[in-house]
Amino acid sequence: MIVIGDGDLVMNAISESEGPLPMGMNKYTKQQYANREFLLNAVEYMVDNSGLLETRGKDYTLRLLDKARYEDNKTSWQLLNILLPILLVILFIAVYQYLRKKRFGK
């Protein structure tokens, strides 16, 4: 278990001219502290160095969608993603109201 007494350790300062500053940088003196390295080392220690170092070295390849198949089914997927949640909510409300009327109605 690692206990850190200051929550500002992970906060990023924001500069009006530069935007968000890197973790551990003082926005007034522009001095960079080792907050990021400390947190990475703490996480590596907690999860066992060997496993995390192997994970960092992996290469990931992106598998893109088939463009022709995507264009053919684009409208149907959009309708499914828009209408299905709405229909599920309406169905849930209808079942809830029916059960409520059955239980409390006279």
Same domain, 46 and 12: yes
Q: Is residue 24 part of a domain?
A: yes
Is 40 a member of any domain? yes
35 and 71 fall within a common domain = no
pLDDT of amino acid 74: 92
Same domain, 20 and 44: yes
98 phi, psi to nearest 5 deg: -60, -50
3-class SS of residue 14:
strand
Going by C-beta distance under 8 Å and a sequence separation of 6 or more, which residues neighbour residue 36? 22, 23, 24
106 lies in a domain? yes
What's the pLDDT score for residue 62?
82
Number of domains within the chain: 2
In a domain, residue 75? The reply is: yes
Q: CA-CA distance, 49 to 55, in Å (whole number)?
A: 10
Check whether 2 has a pLDDT greater than 90.
Answer: no
The range of the structural domain enclosing residue 23 comes to 7-56
Indicate whether 45 and 70 sit together in one domain. Answer: no
Q: Are residues 47 and 84 in the same domain?
A: no
**pLDDT (tens digit, 9 = 90+) per residue, 31-79?**
877 777 888 878 877 877 666 556 666 677 888 888 888 889 999 999 9
pTM: 0.40
Domain assignment present for residue 99? The answer is yes
> Are 43 and 52 a contacting pair, CB within 8 Å?
yes
Q: Are residues 46 and 69 in the same domain?
A: no
